[in-house]
């Protein structure tokens, strides 16, 4: 995929009926073909780089499928009454992908990976250990990836050792239970290093600028075409050898900002997978019984209202608590999400379990909120902005409006700030937003990992810019704690700090709702909430 294709043909849809009328006959015909799987979603990707700065969730639909990793997560069947034939990733079953096999040393401090013979990149170049080495070196050096890789004790290029053309070894100072799972995530994608190095410069040694708009992978799909803001096409890579793949269909992925158009297409059977529909539409379609909806919960994915603890007045504990008591939680859950998720509010008054994420004790209490604001030194309130992603307004905009109304009742004047997707990610990384809505999931399943990512450190994912020395210490202590009782005690203290100091306000863990056509099989819910395409088939 070349830069000119990425930048070309960027005409936006003009109105709610544009896709449903003007484009419908051609695209409905494409959807009717068994060789084409048509996907409709709300927002466009903003990069082709798996570790791109400020990458958004839509971009993962491309990067996850056009690149391989050494290992990946297995899958297991879902068992819900309406989930037959669908799967979810299996965190406890990490299987080889670009590696044919891997072996962990008895002391746990090295993992040896044997690559698959005959595997190539999309241009036919063989995949070698040198490519893997370059890719892992890149992952620990580019901004977005290096902090995540560090959570698996991978921080130095010397840890990635090429044994021979088909063998690479990863070494760590201590046995780390997160090393192998980290290699199954987005960032350690395997690049065609020879191609990438042709586009490096002194100021850009990892070809970040070039990889924003170009693909140098060897994954199960190739990027066939891209129309900015409209659609992209992925086609199966016929020579892919790095795992089982059932899909032989092209993927026509279309960006349809209007929820009404996506719902119409879903109800008429004009698309195979329809995503990002409002809870209102999902609830109505389920009640009508006209479509099949897969509603899958990921308890580690949480929607937050985030307050930047590094920007006044949100550096004031009582201000944050006042905001927490102002949120109209139930109204939001009912009117915005239509109860399509698990609430993260109204929990018990005391911490009784190390389970996390778990509901915080807050519910709306405007009297208490006003009193806390007065104690904080703001009896007349203050002015601030509430930022939302302009390409993700289905949920975020009504949440912002309800927050604007609720905070207005205690004297806080809020201006809603819509930010383009590409800028939103950058501003989050640079910690420049005072109050905003954020949605993210913990990819690795452990409470201490969750707190390490979202409640400390100078990363984009520490949405509240929370910097409590006690939290930093106990997260570090829990990192290597092997005694279950001691570990649980540390986690419960983390939870207590999160509840009391409330750097971010959890709202809910939303379902990933996808309308699936009757002919679709093999849908797999993934930790990153984007599509795993290689298991999809269409009859």
- Residue 16 structure tokens: 């709610």
CATH code at 301-511: 3.10.105.10
Q: What is the dihedral of CA 285, 286, 291, 294, to 10 degrees?
A: 120
Cβ-count burial of 238 within 10 angstroms (0-12 exposed, 13-18 middle, 19+ buried)?
exposed
Sign of CA dihedral 275, 281, 286, 289: negative
Q: What is the pLDDT of residue 69?
A: 98
- What is the CATH topology of the domain spanning 3-259+517-538? D-Maltodextrin-Binding Protein; domain 2 (3.40.190)
What's the average model confidence in pLDDT over 420-440? 90
- Residue 285 structure tokens: 């379609």
Q: Beta strand pairing status for 160-164 and 167-171?
A: antiparallel
Helices marked H in 166-228: 179-182, 193-197, 208-211
For residue range 332-362, what is the model confidence (pLDDT) as tens digits? 999 999 999 999 999 999 999 999 999 999 9
> 3-class DSSP state for residue 88?
strand
Considering the entire predicted model, what is its pTM? 0.79
Distance separating alpha carbons of residues 127 and 116, to the nearest angstrom = 8
> 3-class DSSP state for residue 528?
coil
Least confident of 220-234, 240-254, 494-508: 240-254
Residue 38 has pLDDT above 70, yes or no: yes
Q: What is the pLDDT of residue 33?
A: 62
- Residue 497 structure tokens: 């700090």
Residue 86 has pLDDT above 50, yes or no: yes
Residue 167 has pLDDT above 50, yes or no: yes
Check if the beta carbon of residue 115 is closer than 8 Å to that of residue 97.
Answer: no
| Mean of pLDDT over the chain | 91
What's the average model confidence in pLDDT over 228-243? 95
Distance separating alpha carbons of residues 449 and 508, to the nearest angstrom = 19
Looking at the chain, the whole-number percentage of residues with pLDDT higher than 90 is 80
Distance separating alpha carbons of residues 180 and 176, to the nearest angstrom = 8
pLDDT-derived band at 408 (thresholds 50, 70, 90) equals very high
Looking at the chain, the whole-number percentage of residues with pLDDT higher than 70 is 94
Least confident of 241-250, 261-270, 500-509, 525-534: 241-250
Q: What is the pLDDT of residue 15?
A: 27
For residue 251, give the nearest of 521, 10, 30, 496 by alpha carbon: 30
Q: What is the pLDDT of residue 28?
A: 46
pLDDT-derived band at 8 (thresholds 50, 70, 90) equals very low
Q: Where are the domains of the chain?
A: 3-259+517-538, 301-511
| Residue whose tokens read 């007065």 | 374
Q: What is the pLDDT of residue 470?
A: 98
Residue 49 has pLDDT above 60, yes or no: yes
301-511 shares the fold of 3-259+517-538: no
Q: What is the pLDDT of residue 32?
A: 52
Residue 278 has pLDDT above 60, yes or no: yes
Strands (E), 42-129: 71-77, 87-96, 99-104, 110-115
């Amino acid at each position: 995929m070349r830069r000119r294709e990425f930048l070309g043909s960027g005409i936006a849809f003009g109105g709610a009926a544009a896709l449903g009328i003007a484009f419908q006959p051609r695209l409905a015909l494409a959807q009717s073909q068994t060789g084409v799987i048509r996907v409709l979603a709300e927002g466009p990707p903003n990069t082709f780089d798996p570790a791109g700065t400020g990458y958004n969730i839509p971009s993962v639909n491309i990067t996850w499928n056009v690149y391989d990793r050494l290992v990946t997560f297995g899958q297991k069947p879902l068992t819900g009454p309406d989930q037959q034939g669908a799967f979810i990733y299996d965190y406890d079953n990490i299987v080889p992908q670009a590696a044919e096999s891997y072996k962990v040393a008895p002391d746990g401090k090295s993992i040896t990976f044997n690559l698959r013979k005959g595997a190539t990149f999309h241009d036919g170049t063989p995949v070698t250990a040198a490519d893997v080495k370059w890719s892992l070196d890149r992952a620990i050096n580019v901004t977005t990836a290096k902090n995540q890789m560090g959570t698996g004790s991978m921080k130095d290029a010397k840890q990635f050792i090429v044994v021979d053309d088909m063998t690479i070894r990863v070494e760590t100072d201590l046995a780390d239970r997160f090393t192998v799972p980290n290699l199954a995530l987005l960032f350690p994608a395997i690049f065609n290093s020879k191609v990438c190095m042709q586009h490096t410069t002194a100021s850009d040694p990892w070809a970040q600028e070039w990889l924003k708009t170009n693909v140098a992978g060897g994954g199960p799909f190739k990027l066939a075409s891209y129309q900015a803001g409209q659609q992209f096409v992925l086609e199966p890579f016929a020579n892919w050898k790095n795992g089982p793949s059932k899909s032989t269909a092209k993927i026509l992925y279309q960006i349809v900002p209007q929820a009404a158009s996506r719902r119409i297409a879903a109800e008429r059977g004009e698309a195979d997978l329809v995503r990002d529909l409002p809870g209102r539409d999902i609830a109505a379609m389920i009640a009508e019984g006209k479509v099949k909806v897969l509603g899958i919960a990921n308890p580690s994915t949480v929607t937050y209202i985030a307050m930047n603890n590094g920007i006044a007045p949100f550096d004031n504990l009582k201000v944050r608590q006042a905001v927490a008591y102002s949120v109209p939680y139930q109204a939001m859950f009912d009117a915005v999400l239509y109860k399509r998720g698990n609430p993260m509010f109204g929990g018990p008054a005391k911490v009784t379990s190390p389970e996390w994420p778990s509901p915080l004790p807050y519910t709306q209490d405007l009297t208490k909120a006003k009193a806390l604001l007065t104690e904080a030194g703001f009896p007349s309130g203050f002015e601030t902005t509430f930022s939302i992603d302009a390409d993700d307004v289905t949920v975020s905009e009504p949440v912002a409006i309800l927050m604007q109304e609720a905070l207005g009742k205690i004297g806080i004047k809020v201006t809603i700030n819509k930010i383009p997707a590409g800028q939103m990610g950058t501003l989050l990384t640079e910690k420049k937003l005072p109050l905003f809505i954020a949605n993210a999931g913990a990819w690795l399943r452990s409470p201490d990992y969750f707190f390490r990512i979202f409640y400390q450190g100078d990363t984009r994912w520490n949405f509240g810019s929370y910097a409590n020395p006690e939290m930093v210490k106990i997260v570090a202590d829990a990192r290597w704690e092997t005694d279950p009782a001691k570990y649980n005690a540390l986690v419960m203290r983390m939870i207590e700090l999160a509840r009391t100091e409330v750097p971010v306000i959890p709202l809910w863990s939303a379902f990933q709702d996808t309308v699936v056509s009757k002919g679709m099989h093999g849908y797999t819910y993934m930790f990153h909430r984007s599509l795993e395409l290689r298991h999809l088939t269409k009859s």
